[in-house]
Chains A and B, each alone.
Chain A
Amino acid sequence: MSDRIFGIACLLLAGFYLVSASTIELGFIETPVGPRAFPYIIGAVLAISALYPIFVPDAPPEWPDMRGLVEIAFAAAVMFAYAWLLPTGGFVLCTAVAAAVLSWRLGTTPLAAATAGVAISVGIYVVFHLVLGLSLARGPWGF
Chain B
Amino acid sequence: MDALSSLAAGFEVAFTFQNLFLALLGCFLGTIIGALPGLGPSNGVAILIPLAFTLGLPATPALILLTSVYYGAMYGGRISSILLNIPGDEPALMTTLDGFPMARKGQAGEALALSGIASFVGAFFATWGLVFLAPVLVGVALLFGPAEYFALYALAFATLGGIASRNQAKAAIAAMIGLGISTIGVDAMAGVARFTYNEVHLYSGIDFLVAIVGLFAISEVFLFLEHRGEGGASTSGTKLSRVTAPVSMLKESAGAMGRSTVLGFIAGVLPGAGASLGSFISYTVEKRISDKKGTFGKGDPRGVAAPEAGNNAAAGGALVPMLALGVPGSGTTAVLLAMLLALNITPGPLLFQKNPDVVWGLIAALFIGNIMLLLMNIPMVSLFVRVLLIPPRFLMPAVAMISFVGIYGISGSTFDLMVMVGFGVMGYVLRKLDVPLVPIILGILLGGEMEKSLRRAVQISDGDWSVLLSSPLTIGLWAFAIIGFVAPLIIGRYLRPKIADEPQAEGADPD
Contacts and interface: CB of A to CB of B under 8 A. Distances in A.
Interface of A: 2-3, 6, 10, 13-14, 17, 20-21, 24-27, 29, 31-35, 37-39, 42-43, 45-46, 49-50, 52-53, 56, 58, 61-64, 68, 71-72, 75-76, 79-80, 82-84, 86-87, 95, 98-100, 102-103, 105-108, 116-117, 120-121, 123-124, 128, 132-137
Contacts of A98: 397, 400-401
Interface string B154-190: 0000000000001111101100110110010001011
B400 A102 contact: yes
Given A2-B433, A79-B218, A83-B421, A32 B397 contact: no
Given A61-B432, A72-B225, A49 B218 contact: no
Nearest to A39: B183
B414 A83 contact: yes
A42 B421 contact: no
Contact of B458 (A3, A24, A33): A33
Interface in B391-444: 392-394, 396-398, 400-402, 404-405, 408-409, 412, 414, 417-418, 420-421, 424-425, 428, 432-435
B397 A62 contact: no
- Counting chain B CB atoms within 10 Å of each CB, the highest count among A68, A102, A128 belongs to A102
Contacts of A53: 167, 169-170, 173
B228 A107 contact: yes
B503 interface: yes
Nearest to A68: B226
A33 B462 CA distance: 9
A120 B404 contact: no
B460 to A, nearest CB: 10
Contacts of B172: 45, 49
A116 B394 contact: yes
Nearest to A100: B397
Interface of B: 51, 54-55, 166-170, 172-173, 176-177, 179-180, 183, 187, 189-195, 197, 218, 221-222, 224-226, 228-229, 392-394, 396-398, 400-402, 404-405, 408-409, 412, 414, 417-418, 420-421, 424-425, 428, 432-435, 450-451, 454-455, 458-459, 462-463, 503, 506
Contact of B417 (A64, A83, A100): A83
Contacts of B408: 86, 136-137
Contacts, number: 195
A25 B420 CA distance: 29
A138 to B, nearest CB: 10
B179 A106 contact: no
B400 to A, nearest CB: 6
A123 B397 CA distance: 13
Contacts of A80: 418, 421
A63 B420 CA distance: 23
B194 A31 contact: no
Instruction: Tell me which of B393, B397, B400, B401 has the highest count of chain A C-beta atoms within 10 A of its own C-beta.
Output: B397
A117 B393 CA distance: 11
Contacts of A72: 222, 225-226, 428
Contact of B190 (A35, A45, A79): A35
Contacts of A124: 398, 401-402, 405
A124 B421 CA distance: 20
Given A2-B433, A35-B194, A17 B425 contact: no
Contacts of B393: 103, 106-108
B225 A75 contact: yes
Given A3-B433, A42-B179, A99-B398, A58 B405 contact: no
A64 B503 CA distance: 13
A31 B173 CA distance: 29
Contacts of A102: 221, 396-397, 400
A99 B55 contact: no
A136 B168 CA distance: 42
A135 B414 contact: no
Contacts of B425: 76
Nearest to A71: B225
Contact of A39 (B54, B167, B180): B180
Contacts of A132: 55
Nearest to B398: A120
30 contacts: A2-B433, A17-B195, A20-B195, A27-B190, A35-B189, A35-B194, A39-B194, A42-B179, A46-B180, A49-B169, A52-B167, A52-B168, A72-B225, A76-B424, A83-B404, A83-B414, A83-B417, A99-B400, A102-B396, A103-B393, A106-B396, A107-B229, A116-B394, A124-B402, A128-B51, A133-B55, A134-B51, A135-B409, A136-B408, A137-B408
